[in-house]
């Protein structure tokens, strides 16, 4: 059980997240939808702890002051002030927006970097699992990450996150810039990860249509606050949501 | 829950942009700080009449401020980290010596001529390095002054290791002071204006994303070359001035000091503000003069100050001061 209670984030005086609370039961897929500037990425930064890192960098640079409030718990344990690398150790792993793979390392090396936290046995298992999940990666193991296509880079990014033995996997806009065919592969892969490994997944997306069939629960963010939450079917039934996020 | 809020002062909001100046306080708020700097710099030589040793330091401070301006512009507005500030100084110094000693030009001609021709020569010589970025450009520019020193030594040209002696010095101490002070102020405020002009905006664009600039149909190499010209122009003036101040141009004009101390000043003052570069020199150079008695131990103190600034206050004094001047903080309820 991963819970975020009353998360508030300010970038200087601008409010980016306003009282957002989400519940993530074990083994479920949670969808978070919203347009640009709704606060999706900020929420992901908060959940993964990257926000603390950004905050520190801004402080050093004399830039914006970022204030973060709220409580995050993972299985009853408070993780709100944990640094990002310690959160990753606890099993909260982020697959960042725009993939951020290591462009000058090969696919194999990228995956190995991801498995820094796990031991030899598990790395072997995980590697096999990832390569079965996304067989296209098998053909390019020796290629540099930067030379992969966008879709393959996304698979690699998800694979790299999986190598870190996540309990909660955060996927930030995994469908950005993908063709419909690749969207299907990524969405299918996401569902399979949940079904076979029981990993909890939080997925953010602007274009909700391909994601909605696989989610258990969804939240809709607007200007930093949740305006609607419910199961996938409930969200689909809402006429406003339909026109705004599903393009129907 | 309480949150510390940071908002612009009312006077800042009123005076920004529209220039709706209604009262003396607002006018003072706008022109106060630059006026303080300008007037302060101009009366400094008179104030220090009683401390002749420190009067000499003013010139050195201003020279370093000019070199720091040239580094700050190139590093924080063009994205070229140039570790070869001494190269510009050396070129300017030697050229003015050649003009003055070999060609018998008067001081008033040799300094401007050395500045302009030095900037052209430096730009042409740095041209091959312009496609490089980041650490590669830094390394190549670090090599240039070393290269110049060795060439002069090996070929024994331009006085060899002895340097060129017997340059005309400036007519009197006040001309010496005010020449460098006024030129420094012109460079400072000129550059502050320049980086917000059309050309300056394009040059800043080159730093952020040169591919986007190229896609807009602008030649990045031309822009970089022009920026190097502007920057070396300032560096060469500093060199020409130093040569006349000491009546001597030698290979110590290519010394590492002229590359490193300006960089340290920019770090302390705050990069990307231009004013910070000047402020940093006004702090750092007198400190290093004060510590002269400690001999080589001053390098240690110097390093501690620098490291402290980078680790604990990497924004620099100027950025911090500007924030305090323009904004205030208060606690608000979340």
Place of tokens 């002229």: B258
pLDDT value at position A248? 53
Over residues B270-280, the pLDDT tens digits come to 888 889 999 99
pLDDT value at position B164? 85
Continuous H helices in B156-274: 173-194, 198-208, 210-215, 220-246, 257-269
Alpha-carbon gap, residue B65 to A72, rounded angstroms: 50
Mean of pLDDT values over B14-43: 80
Per-position b or e across B213-246, b if 16+ CB within 10 A of its CB: beeeeeebeebbbbbbbbbbbbbbbbbbbbbbbb
Residue B17 in this model has a pLDDT that exceeds 70: no
pLDDT value at position B11? 78
Phi, psi (5° rounding) for residue B51?
-125, 80
Alpha-carbon gap, residue A122 to A132, rounded angstroms: 15
Phi, psi (5° rounding) for residue B202?
-60, -40
Alpha-carbon gap, residue B206 to B77, rounded angstroms: 8
Give the mean pLDDT of chain B.
87
Over residues B301-322, the pLDDT tens digits come to 778 888 888 888 778 888 888 8
Mean of pLDDT values over B171-180: 86
Residue of chain B nearest A69, judged by CA positions = B1
Residue of chain B nearest A19, judged by CA positions = B334
pLDDT value at position A152? 92
Query: Which residues of chain B make contact with A67, given a CB cutoff of 8 A?
Result: 3-4, 334
Query: B6 and chain A: CB distance < 8 Å anywhere?
Result: yes
pTM of the model: 0.84
Render A123-172 in DSSP notation, one character per residue: HHHHHHHHHHHSGGGGGGTTSBGGGS-HHHHHHHHHHHHHTT--SEEEEE
Phi, psi (5° rounding) for residue A149?
-75, 165
Cβ separation A13–B7 shorter than 8 A = yes
User: Which residue ranges form the domains of chain B, and what is each CATH number?
Assistant: 2-333 (1.10.3470)
pLDDT value at position A8? 92
Nearest to B5 among A8, A13, A60 (CB): A13
Quick one: DSSP state of residue B75? I
Over residues B122-138, the pLDDT tens digits come to 999 999 988 888 889 99
Give the CA distances from residue A111 to residues A45, A102, B130, B211, in Å, rounded to whole numbers and listed in that order.
22, 10, 37, 30
Length of chain A: 248
pLDDT value at position B120? 95
pLDDT value at position B19? 66
Q: Which of A24-33, A218-227, B15-24, B168-177 has the lowest average pLDDT?
A: B15-24
Query: Which residues of chain A make contact with B7, given a CB cutoff of 8 A?
Result: 13
Query: Which residues of chain A make contact with B1, given a CB cutoff of 8 A?
Result: 69
Query: B276 and chain A: CB distance < 8 Å anywhere?
Result: no
Residue B207 in this model has a pLDDT that exceeds 60: yes
Alpha-carbon gap, residue B294 to B296, rounded angstroms: 6
Number of Cβ atoms within 10 Å of the Cβ of B292: 8
Higher pLDDT, B11 or A42: A42
CB A175 within 8 A of CB A98: no
Cβ separation A12–B6 shorter than 8 A = yes
CA dihedral B109, B111, B114, B116 (to 10 degrees): -90
Alpha-carbon gap, residue B331 to B334, rounded angstroms: 9
Cβ separation B323–A62 shorter than 8 A = yes
Nearest to B315 among A13, A62, A67 (CB): A62
How open is the CA angle B25-B30-B32, to the nearest 5 degrees? 80
Nearest to A67 among B3, B7, B316 (CB): B3
pLDDT value at position B20? 65
pLDDT value at position B131? 86
Mark out chain A residues that contact chain B at CB-CB < 8 A. 8, 10, 12-13, 60-63, 65, 67, 69
Higher pLDDT, B328 or B296: B328
pLDDT value at position A31? 93
Asked whether the CA dihedral B14, B17, B18, B19 is positive or negative, the reply is positive
Probe site for chain B from A5, A60, A68 (most B CB atoms < 10 A): A60
CB B178 within 8 A of CB B45: yes
Nearest to B6 among A60, A61, A65 (CB): A65
Cβ separation B314–A61 shorter than 8 A = yes
User: pLDDT per position in chain A (248 positions), as tens?
Assistant: 899 999 999 998 889 999 999 999 999 999 999 888 889 999 999 999 999 999 998 888 777 889 999 999 999 899 999 999 999 999 999 999 888 999 999 999 999 999 998 889 999 999 999 999 999 999 999 999 999 999 999 999 999 999 999 999 999 999 988 999 999 999 999 999 999 999 999 999 988 888 988 999 999 998 999 988 988 888 888 887 777 776 65
Q: How many helices (H) and strands (E) does chain B have?
A: 14, 4
Six-digit token pair at A122? 């598990």
pLDDT value at position B18? 64
pLDDT value at position A246? 66
Share of chain B above pLDDT 90, in %: 31
Query: Which residues of chain A make contact with B329, given a CB cutoff of 8 A?
Result: none
Fold annotation for A2-245: Rossmann fold (3.40.50)
Tell me the HSE value of A142 on the side-chain side, using a 13 A CA sphere.
0
pLDDT value at position A148? 92
Phi, psi (5° rounding) for residue A235?
-65, -40
pLDDT value at position B305? 82
Residue of chain A nearest B331, judged by CA positions = A13
Query: Which residues of chain B make contact with A10, given a CB cutoff of 8 A?
Result: 3
Query: B2 and chain A: CB distance < 8 Å anywhere?
Result: no
DSSP reduced 3-state for B245:
helix
How open is the CA angle B79-B80-B83, to the nearest 5 degrees? 140
Query: Whose CA is closest to A97, among A16, A162, A42?
Result: A42
Nearest to A60 among B6, B7, B314 (CB): B314
Cβ separation A65–B314 shorter than 8 A = no
Phi, psi (5° rounding) for residue A74?
-120, 115
B5/chain A closest Cα distance in angstroms: 7
Six-digit token pair at B79? 């994205």
Cβ separation B1–A13 shorter than 8 A = no
Q: Enumerate the domain spans of chain A.
A: 2-245
Probe site for chain A from B267, B315, B319, B329 (most A CB atoms < 10 A): B315
Number of Cβ atoms within 10 Å of the Cβ of A248: 10
B198/chain A closest Cα distance in angstroms: 25
Place of tokens 């904004």: B327
Give the CA distances from residue A3 to residues A6, A14, B98, B150, in Å, rounded to whole numbers and listed in that order.
10, 24, 75, 67
Q: β-pairing, A168-172 with A217-222?
A: unpaired
């Amino acid at each position: 059980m991963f819970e975020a209670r009353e998360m508030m984030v300010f970038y200087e005086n601008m409010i980016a997240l306003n009282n957002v609370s989400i519940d993530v039961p074990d083994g479920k897929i949670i969808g978070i939808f919203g347009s640009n500037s709704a606060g999706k990425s900020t929420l992901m930064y908060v959940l993964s702890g990257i926000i603390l890192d950004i905050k520190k960098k801004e402080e050093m640079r004399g830039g914006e002051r970022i204030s973060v409030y709220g409580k995050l718990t993972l299985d009853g344990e408070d993780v709100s002030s944990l640094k990002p690398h310690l959160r990753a150790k606890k099993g909260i792993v982020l697959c960042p927006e725009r993939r951020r793979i290591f462009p000058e390392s090969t696919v194999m090396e990228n995956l190995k970097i991801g498995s820094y936290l796990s031991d030899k046995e598990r790395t072997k298992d995980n590697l096999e699992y990832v390569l079965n999940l996304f067989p296209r990666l098998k053909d390019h193991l020796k290629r540099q990450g930067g030379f992969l296509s966008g879709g393959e880079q996304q698979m690699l990014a998800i694979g790299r996150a999986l190598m870190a033995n996540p309990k909660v996997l955060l996927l930030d806009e995994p469908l950005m810039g993908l063709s419909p065919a690749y969207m299907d592969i990524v969405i299918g892969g996401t569902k399979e990860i949940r079904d076979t490994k029981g990993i909890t997944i939080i997925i953010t997306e602007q274009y909700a249509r391909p994601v909605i069939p696989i989610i258990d629960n969804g939240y809709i963010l607007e200007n930093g606050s949740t305006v609607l939450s419910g199961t996938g079917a409930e969200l689909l039934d809402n006429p406003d949501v339909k026109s705004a996020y599903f393009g129907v | 829950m309480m949150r510390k809020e940071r908002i612009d002062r009312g006077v800042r909001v009123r005076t920004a942009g529209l220039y709706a100046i209604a009262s003396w306080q607002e006018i003072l708020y706008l022109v106060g700080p630059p006026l303080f700097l300008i007037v302060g710099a101009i009366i400094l030589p008179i104030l220090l009449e009683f401390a002749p040793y420190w009067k000499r330091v003013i010139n050195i401070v201003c020279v370093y401020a000019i070199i720091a301006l040239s580094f700050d512009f190139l590093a924080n507005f063009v994205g070229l980290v140039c570790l070869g500030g001494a190269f510009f100084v050396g070129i300017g110094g030697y050229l003015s010596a050649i003009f003055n000693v070999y060609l018998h030009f008067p001081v008033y001609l040799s300094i401007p001529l050395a500045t302009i021709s030095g900037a052209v020569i430096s730009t042409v010589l740095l041209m091959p390095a312009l496609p490089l970025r980041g650490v590669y450009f830094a390394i190549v520019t670090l090599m240039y002054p070393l290269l110049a020193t060795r060439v002069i030594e090996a070929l024994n040209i331009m006085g060899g290791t002895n340097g060129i002696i017997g340059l005309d010095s400036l007519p009197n101490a006040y001309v010496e002071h005010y020449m460098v002070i006024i030129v420094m102020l012109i460079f400072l405020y000129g550059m502050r204006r320049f980086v917000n002009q059309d050309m300056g905006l394009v040059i800043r664009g080159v730093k952020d994303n040169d591919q986007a600039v190229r896609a807009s149909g602008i030649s990045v190499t031309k822009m970089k070359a022009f920026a190097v010209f502007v920057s070396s122009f300032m560096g060469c003036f500093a060199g020409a001035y130093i040569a006349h101040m000491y009546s001597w141009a030698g290979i110590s004009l290519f010394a590492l000091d002229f590359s490193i101390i300006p960089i340290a000043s920019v770090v302390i003052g705050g990069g990307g503000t231009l004013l910070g570069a000047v402020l940093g020199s006004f702090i750092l150079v007198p400190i290093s003069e004060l510590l002269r008695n400690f001999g080589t131990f001053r390098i240690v103190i110097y390093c501690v100050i620098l490291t402290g600034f980078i680790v604990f206050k990497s924004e620099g004094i100027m950025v911090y001061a500007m924030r305090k001047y323009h904004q205030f903080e208060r606690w608000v309820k979340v």
